[in-house]
Amino acid sequence: MSEKRKITLKDIARELGISISTASRALNGYEGISDETIKLVKDFAEKHHYVPNLLAVNLRKNRTSNIGIIVPQIVHHFFSTVISGAIETAKKHGYNILVSQSGDLLKDEIIACRTMIGSSVDGLLISISNETIEGEHIREFLDEGKPVVQFDKITDHLETPKVIVDDFQGAYAAVTHLIDQGYKKIATIRGRLDVKNSIERYKGYEKAVKDHQLEFNSDWIITCKNISEEEGYEFARKLMESKNPPDAIFCITDPVALGAIKFLKSAGFEIPEQVGVVGFSNWELAEIVSPSLSSVDQHGYQMGIKATELLIRLLKDHSLGENETIEVKTNLIIRESSDLNFIGS
């Protein structure tokens, strides 16, 4: 409507018959300004709804007050949870969050990075795509003197602070839980051999099985590629139709577990009585499906907070070169798919 012109420092200086710098200093609480003029200026500013032009401030200070975040997919329960945590934390410190996604494509991740550099975010939070190995495009950020924090899906080729979920411990806990329930022949449908999270989860599985002196059978280890529900269904079939079928399956992620459950149900296996199933990531679907799915929760919101706090600390200290890695503990959520004690209660 009224299209009020935005009032500037210059305006308030002119109106009050003082200099621009005095006005600036008064507003920003500098030393050596009389209380009198401070009050004068502040009152005037308040009254006329003065709000500093961030563009100018930022140009002057050479920063943007923006933090970029790049994830493989936004439409994804875990990542949107992380973003949510990042936004709330950033807000608290006066930063905005600028979101982009790679679609798990290296090509698009590079574009997203370049755009971010171009639009000048002050720092970057990133969970890399499956295709990213070296991450040279991310190094460009570091070269610009801008801090980067990696989270969840990371690469060790980049010397940045990292916030990761303790996949090993999560998997170990999940499999140990299965063992505690009395399952003895535990299989795993694992993820790619070249993705760190996947490797760690597998290691956790292996160690738990061996620590408890259970049968360790390479036929019970199946590697999937798409990490899809279809694969879960197919590989569960393969496992159960083998000569020596397992009595429990630890799955790399919830959709895979869901596929496995679907096969098991269609083939007439009782869950959890005959076969126990545990997934990973605690997707929304875990408590919706029937039987509900035990899963390892990754505390996405916490990760978002931790990663953002870390980045903001770097932003404020300008003490780049830190390389700390925070491991967020996981939390096993036991539901019907593996809970024998729950039966009948």
Partner DNA sequence: CTGTTAGCGCGTTCAT
Partner DNA sequence: ATGAACGCGCTAACAG
Return residues touching a second copy (CB under 8 A).
Answer: 1-4, 6, 51, 53-56, 58-59, 62, 64-66, 73-77, 80-81, 83-84, 87, 91, 96-101, 111, 115, 117-120, 142-145, 258, 284-285, 288-290
Element (H, E) at 188: strand 186-190
Residue 194: which of DNA, a second copy, none does it interact with, CB under 5 to 8 A by kind?
none
2 or 213: CB nearest DNA: 2
77 or 207: CB nearest a second copy: 77
Interacting residue ranges for DNA, rule: CB under 7 A = 6, 8-10, 17-22, 24-25, 27-28, 31-34, 36-37, 52-53, 56-57, 59-62
Q: For residues 147 and 158, what is the distance between their CA atoms, to the nearest angstrom?
A: 12
* Distance of closest approach, residue 85 Cβ to a second copy, in angstroms: 10
**Backbone phi and psi for residue 161, each to the nearest 5 degrees, phi listed first:** -65, 155
* Distance of closest approach, residue 162 Cβ to DNA, in angstroms: 31
* Distance of closest approach, residue 31 Cβ to DNA, in angstroms: 6
28 or 213: CB nearest DNA: 28
Any idea how long the chain is? 345
Residue 155: which of DNA, a second copy, none does it interact with, CB under 5 to 8 A by kind?
none
Q: For residues 94 and 89, what is the distance between their CA atoms, to the nearest angstrom?
A: 9
What distance lies between CA 141 and its chain's CA centroid?
Answer: 19
17 or 344: CB nearest DNA: 17
By CB neighbour count within 10 A (0-12 exposed, 13-18 middle, 19+ buried), where does 252 fall? buried
Residue 65: which of DNA, a second copy, none does it interact with, CB under 5 to 8 A by kind?
a second copy
Q: For residues 42 and 336, what is the distance between their CA atoms, to the nearest angstrom?
A: 62
Contacts of 22 (CB under 8 A, 6+ apart): 13, 33, 37, 41
